[in-house]
Every structure is written in structure tokens, then in C-alpha cells.
Structure 1
């Protein structure tokens, strides 16, 4: 019983970490795009 619960907890944490990582990557990509757009606008 406890094993099943631990597995569920671990899967939940892994999933949350994956979502957090994806969100960070999207945010980094957005910032990079904004920076590129600003540099292009200067020319």
C-alpha cells in the first residue's frame, strides 16, 4: 500500500517538475524572441 502511494507521489512530482521546466523554457524563448525583435527594430 505504501509503495503504491510513494509511486504516485513520485510520478506527481516528476510531472510537476516537467511542467515547470517546460514553462521556464517557454518563458526563456519568449524573452529571446522579444530581445531579437527589439534588435531588429533598432536597425
Structure 2
């Protein structure tokens, strides 16, 4: 499982890989924003 941020729809997707199918689950937005903030710190 991993998080993926969707800028277009402004929400975070929790992606769970089941064989070749990706199932997208919308995670809590606050947790997502915190995750994105941390990711941005790493990339800068």
C-alpha cells in the first residue's frame, strides 16, 4: 500500500495493489495533507 496525491481532485488516494488491479481508497484528507507536506520537504 502507498499514498498517492491527486492534485486535480484535491484528495489523497490510498492505493492497494491486488495482482494487476489498483484499488483506490480515499484516505483522510488531513493525513494526506500531512503526507504531502512531508513529501514536499523531501523533494525540495
Tell me whether the two structures share a fold, i.e. TM-score over 0.5.
Answer: no
TM-score by length of structure 1 reads 0.39
| Higher RCO, Cα 8 Å, sep 6+ | 2
Q: Which has the higher helix share?
A: 1
Q: Which has the higher strand share?
A: 2
Greater radius of gyration (CA)? 1
